[in-house]
Amino acid sequence: MKSHLKFAAAVALAACAATSAWAQGADWRPSKPVRIIVPIVGSTNDVLARLIGPELQKAFGQPFVVENKPGAGGNIGALEVARSAPDGHTLLIGYNGPLAINVTLFDKMPYDPVKDLAPITLAVKSPQYLVVNPAAGIADVKDFIAKAKANPAQYSYGSVAMGSASHLTMEMMKSAAGFHMTHIPYRGAGPAVTDLIAGNIQAGFFVPGNVQGFVKEGRLKLLASTGPKRFPSTPDVPTLAESGLKDFEATSWIGLLAPAGTPPAIINRYNEEMVRILNSPEIQKRLHEMEFEIIAGSPKQFSDWIRTEIVRWGKVIKATGAKAE
Of the pLDDT bands very low, low, confident and very high (cuts 50, 70, 90), residue 251 is: confident
- Return the axis-axis angle of helices 281-289 and 264-278, rounded to nearest 10°: 70
Angle at alpha carbon of residue 302, lines to 225 and 121, rounded to 5° = 95
pLDDT at residue 43, rounded to an integer: 82
- Residue 126 in contact with residue 291, Cβ under 8 Å? yes
| Confidence at residue 51, expressed as pLDDT on a 0 to 100 scale | 96
Reply yes or no on whether the pLDDT at 20 is more than 70.
Answer: no
Mean pLDDT of the chain: 90
* pLDDT tens digits, 125-176: 998 999 999 999 999 999 999 999 999 999 999 999 888 889 999 999 999 9
Percentage of the chain exceeding pLDDT 70: 92
What integer pLDDT is reported at residue 15 of this predicted model?
44
For residue 321, the model assigns a pLDDT of 83
pLDDT attached to residue 290: 86
- Spatial contact of 144 and 134, defined as CB atoms under 8 Å apart: no
Full-model pTM: 0.82
Q: Is the pLDDT of residue 193 over 50?
A: yes
C-alpha span between 198 and 133 (Å, rounded): 8
Contact 276, 123 (CB under 8 A): no
What pLDDT digit, counting tens, does each position of 82-111 carry?
Answer: 999 999 999 999 999 999 999 999 999 999
What's the mean pLDDT in 54-82? 96
Tell whether the model's pLDDT for residue 240 goes beyond 90: yes
What DSSP letter does each residue of 265-287 carry, written as one string?
HHHHHHHHHHHHHHTSHHHHHHH
How far apart are the C-alpha atoms of 322 and 281, rounded to whole Å? 40
Rounded Cα gap, residues 124 and 154, in angstroms:
35
pLDDT value at position 188?
86
Which sign does the torsion angle of CA 321, 160, 186, 99 carry?
Answer: negative
Q: What is the average per-residue pLDDT within 218-239?
A: 91
Q: For residue 23, what pLDDT is reported?
A: 43
Mean pLDDT, residues 287-309: 94
- How far apart, in whole angstroms, are the C-alpha atoms of residue 250 and residue 256? 21
